[in-house]
Amino acid sequence: MCNKALHRFKHRIKQLTGRSWGVSLAYRYRELRRYIVGWMNYFALSEYYRPVPELDEWLRRRMRCCYWKQWRWPRTKISHLVSLGVSLKEAIKTGVSSKGPYAMSRTPITQMAMNNEWLKAEGLVSIKDQWVRFHYPVSTA
């Protein structure tokens, strides 16, 4: 994996997770899965693991940002956060924040509500899991 390939990968992920791209999240997840699995199948031959966890964290943050942007209004944000297990007080404090979606995607409350397992259940494919699956396949013997 060279820097040019990583740059192109990040550019394409930015396109697929753009906040103003008006598509359903199911379609977004489908396109992300298609691109990430294809890219990892091509570049996973490389033993270069260092950027993989960072890319995985960055992708999850971009998806949290998409949800935050889609929820749009404070009332919607609060109701979604409460339904994801956040206390009402913390949900209100977070939901009415004037910070932008990218900044809010990094807060502990949004990371706790939209945790990695939840994002995986929603359909987000993990770059790290794809790399590990390629390098350490499960033997059926």
pLDDT in tens, the chain (141 residues): 568 888 898 999 999 998 888 888 899 999 999 999 888 888 766 667 778 889 899 999 999 999 999 999 999 999 999 999 999 999 999 999 999 999 999 999 999 999 999 999 999 999 888 888 887 877 665
Separation between Cα atoms, residue 46 and residue 55, nearest integer Å? 15
The pTM score is 0.86
In sequence order, the 6+-apart residues with CB closer than 8 A to the CB of 62 are 13, 14, 17, 105
Contact 51, 45 (CB under 8 A): no
User: Whose structure tokens read 């794809």?
Assistant: 130
